[in-house]
């Protein structure tokens, strides 16, 4: 960041009749003001991003085997545990029915408490 020219220094240059030097200092002041505006915009953008991340973290709830977002009485999801834990990305899971869920992003599969594994049938022939 540039050092801002001193206002009093500019006034003194004008009083002395050094208008060219005063104009140069004013231009430096304008450039510094522009840099400050750009920096301010960058910082405001970053603050907004961090506030959104904090807000999201407050809404995300773990409910084995996946995540949900909860805002008031509204629950949304489920979202992939792998994607959220590794990248803080909420990726919606696809319902494969029967308690099976799939993430198209990381290819993970999840089984909720309602999942019933298929029963293996053993064919026994008569006479055994």
- Domain check: are 70 and 107 in the same one? yes
Across the chain, mean pLDDT equals 87
Is residue 41 pLDDT above 90, yes or no?
Answer: yes
- Domain check: are 46 and 17 in the same one? yes
- Domain check: are 25 and 47 in the same one? yes
- Domain check: are 41 and 68 in the same one? no
Tens-digit pLDDT profile for residues 59-99: 999 988 999 999 888 999 999 999 999 998 999 999 998 89
The answer to the question of residue 126 being in a domain is: no
Query: What total of structural domains would you count in the chain?
Result: 2
Helix (H, G, I), strand (E, B) or coil at 109: strand
To which H or E segment does residue 89 belong?
none
The answer to the question of residue 93 being in a domain is: yes
Sheet hosting strand 94-97, strand order edge to edge: 94-97, 100-102, 109-111
The answer to the question of residue 120 being in a domain is: no
What's the pLDDT score for residue 7? 75
Domain ranges, residue 44:
7-53
The answer to pTM > 0.85 is no
């Amino acid at each position: 960041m540039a050092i801002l020219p001193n206002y009093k220094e500019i006034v003194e240059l004008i009083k002395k009749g050094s208008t060219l030097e005063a104009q140069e200092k004013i231009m430096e002041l304008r450039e510094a003001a522009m840099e400050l505006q750009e920096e301010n915009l960058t910082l405001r953008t970053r603050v907004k991003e961090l506030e959104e991340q904090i807000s999201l973290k407050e809404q995300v709830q773990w409910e084995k085997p996946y995540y949900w977002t909860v805002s008031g009485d509204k629950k949304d999801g489920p979202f992939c545990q792998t994607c959220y834990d590794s990248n803080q990305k909420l990726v919606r899971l696809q319902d494969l029915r029967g308690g099976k869920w799939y993430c198209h992003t990381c290819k993970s599969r999840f089984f909720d408490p309602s999942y019933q594994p298929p029963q293996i049938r053993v064919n026994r022939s008569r006479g055994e």
